[in-house]
Amino acid sequence: MRSLHALLLGSLLLAQTGQRVKAAFGLIEGNRALGGGFYSLIQEPSGAQTTMLGPLYYNGRPLEPFGNDLTYDPRTKYLFLIGGSPDVMTYNGVIYGMDVWRSRLLDSLTGPIGARRLAVKDTLLLVTRIRPPFFTVYRIRPTATGVALDSLWSPSSPYLRSIPEAIIVVGDTAFIPLTYISNFNTIARDSLILSINLRTQQVDSFAKVYPNPAELVRIGGKLHVACYGDFMVPLHIAEIDIASRTVTITNTGVNSYGGFVTDTGGRDTILFVDAANALRAYSTTTRQVAPDPYQGIQGIGGLTLYGLLWAGDWLITAHTNYTDTLIVTFNERGRAAIPPDTLRTGIPSLRRLIYVEEDATVLELARANQIPAPVQVYPNPVSDRFWLSGEAVQQVTLRDLYGRVLYTWEAHTAEYALPNLPQGLYLLQVQTRRGLHTLRLQKL
């Protein structure tokens, strides 16, 4: 373990160079048998990359599948994600929190509220929902053990009449498209973009677009909306000037069933997946779709191109056959993927991906300033056995970083022998009379 002097020195050097940690996080929908899953790609300032891909667990059981969104809070360094339901007909929409830089353990932060999409604005978590009131604002409150969500307000407006399938925040305004009227199964489609002032709590019918607006991206002072109609017509893209509310609707002439992203750097190109399972590029300058697949990218090996993230030199594509998932990352545009950029998992359907950047110094200090737990583990790193000191221990649970239970010990004062495990980082949960404490344990 590094000394505090070395830690502060390293942090000072990082501060002087302004180095950044870059990450992509994704929520895998999964299925009833396996539950939901999680993907992460983290690049350190040195250029070294680590990836994690596997199932998610809550309270020792697989996370309910069919969850569909995640967002990141730079203030608390927490990731918020939505759980789905035990089956496709029953949607719970529970919001979970994850201390993503330290573990993959989940904390349940709400009940089954039907959460659909998430966004963070300062200290607020904005949530769209599949049932009235369709939109709720929560305060993100740091606690001694993590974070909590306090429900603050839900606006009341006749415009909030259907399910918002996306959310983008610009200044103090949240923009949401009304997508499905009443429920997912109805044929009727809505066509409004609403604006919600987060200070006055007022809802406004901001713009009327082509029916079934389901995805939003922002480039400069304009919103671009993917409108699918009844999915039998070509994709229509509505361009909305935020300042003037001017709406321009373009028929792309290309059918699409989803997937709509732009580079996080705000380029003038939008990528989407066409009905032939190829990646297409739409220029917001010419309002034209390029005739050929973008960089030749299309579904691989009979898989459906399902999830996208475009962030600088990262273009992450997720492919699925609804049984498993293949993830291919292009680190430089035009360069073919190499084996380290390709991952596969038996959990299907990675749809939602987000990009996060953090100052390396901030992350270093956030970890260094943790309040010491009332229980300590030693030695750490450990080869085959360890001891605990501090409060009286009632139970000890060893988990992997995804939260799976690997071994459980009942309270005793003797040494704890590790089971036969590969080298790596694990989580040790220690139950005492004062609560549950989580420690990181390095296996040599």
**Residue where a domain terminates, one of 366, 395, 418:** 366
Examine the fold and report which residue of 366, 400, 417 is the final residue of a domain before the chain moves on.
366
Asked if 341 and 393 sit in the same domain, the reply is no
User: pLDDT value at position 6?
Assistant: 37
The pLDDT score that the predictor gives to residue 169 is: 97
Q: Is residue 311 part of a domain?
A: yes
Residues 358 and 384 in one domain: no
DSSP classification of residue 414? S
pLDDT at residue 333, as a whole number: 54
Looking at the structure, tell me whether residues 403 and 357 fall in a common domain: no
CA distances from 260 to 227, 272, 273, 274 (A): 10, 4, 7, 10
Looking at the structure of the chain, the number of domains it has is 2
Q: Which one-letter amino acid corresponds to residue 409?
A: W
- 348 shares its domain with 382: no
Alpha helices in 26-134 (DSSP H): none
Residue 357 lies in a domain: yes
In whole angstroms, give the CA distance from residue 280 to residue 138.
Answer: 37
CA angle, 409 then 410 then 415, to 5°: 60
Q: Which of 309, 335, 366 is the last residue of a domain?
A: 366
Residues 186 and 296 in one domain: yes
Residue in 333, 337, 335 with CA at minimum distance from that of residue 318: 337
On the CB side of 235, CA atoms within 13 Å amount to 27
**Is residue 111 assigned to a domain?**
yes
Range of the domain at 421: 374-443
pLDDT at 18: 66
Residues 79, 40: Cα–Cα separation, whole Å: 12
**CATH number of the domain enclosing 222:** 2.130.10.10
User: Do 383 and 290 share a structural domain?
Assistant: no
Return d(Cα 34, Cα 209) in angstroms, integer: 39
Per-residue CA distances from 26 to 38, 63, 227 (Å): 6, 14, 24
349 and 275 share a domain?
A: yes
Over the chain (444 residues), the average pLDDT of each successive run of 10 is 36 53 95 93 88 88 93 95 84 94 90 96 96 96 90 95 92 91 57 96 96 94 94 96 97 94 84 96 96 91 92 91 90 52 90 94 66 73 84 84 84 79 86 77 85
In a domain, 6, yes or no: no
Specify the pLDDT at position 3. Answer: 35
Could you tell me if 270 and 397 lie in one domain? no
- What integer pLDDT is reported at residue 369 of this predicted model? 52
Q: Are residues 256 and 404 in the same domain?
A: no
Would you say residue 159 lies in a domain? yes
How many CA atoms lie within 13 Å of 416's alpha carbon, on the beta-carbon side?
Answer: 25
